[in-house]
Amino acid sequence: GDSVTQMEGPVTLSEEAFLTINCTYTATGYPSLFWYVQYPGEGLQLLLKATKADDKGSNKGFEATYRKETTSFHLEKGSVQVSDSAVYFCARGPNFGNEKLTFGTGTRLTIIP
């Protein structure tokens, strides 16, 4: 069935390191794709999104490109900060009658000074 698979965590990086969190999806068509972030003790909030193939979503230095050829939406940031420590969720939007957001399992990111 339709699903979202993202990189297992936890991930620990030093400040200013390069970050990649992999995400792939399955879908019948071309759904919107999202990255949500959950800071400690808070709910999820939208980090970035892309609504069609080859779109690049970006926010707070994070980027992700909608790649239909590889059905991927990998999250990247060139230089992480301690404040980026959080749990990151990749999600796929509604697709041909499946009306819900489908989430990956989440990746916990810890940045050490």
Which residue, 26, 19, 24, is CA-closest to 5?
A: 24
Q: Does residue 23 belong to the site contacting another protein (CB under 8 A)?
A: no
Residue with tokens 């989440």, as numbered in its chain: 106
Q: Which of 19, 21, 57, 104 binds another protein (CB under 8 A)?
A: 104
Exactly one of 19, 21, 34, 74 binds another protein (CB under 8 A); which one? 34
Binders in 47-66 for another protein, by CB under 8 A = 49, 51
Residues binding another protein (CB under 8 A): 32, 34, 36, 42-46, 49, 51, 89, 93-94, 99-101, 103-106
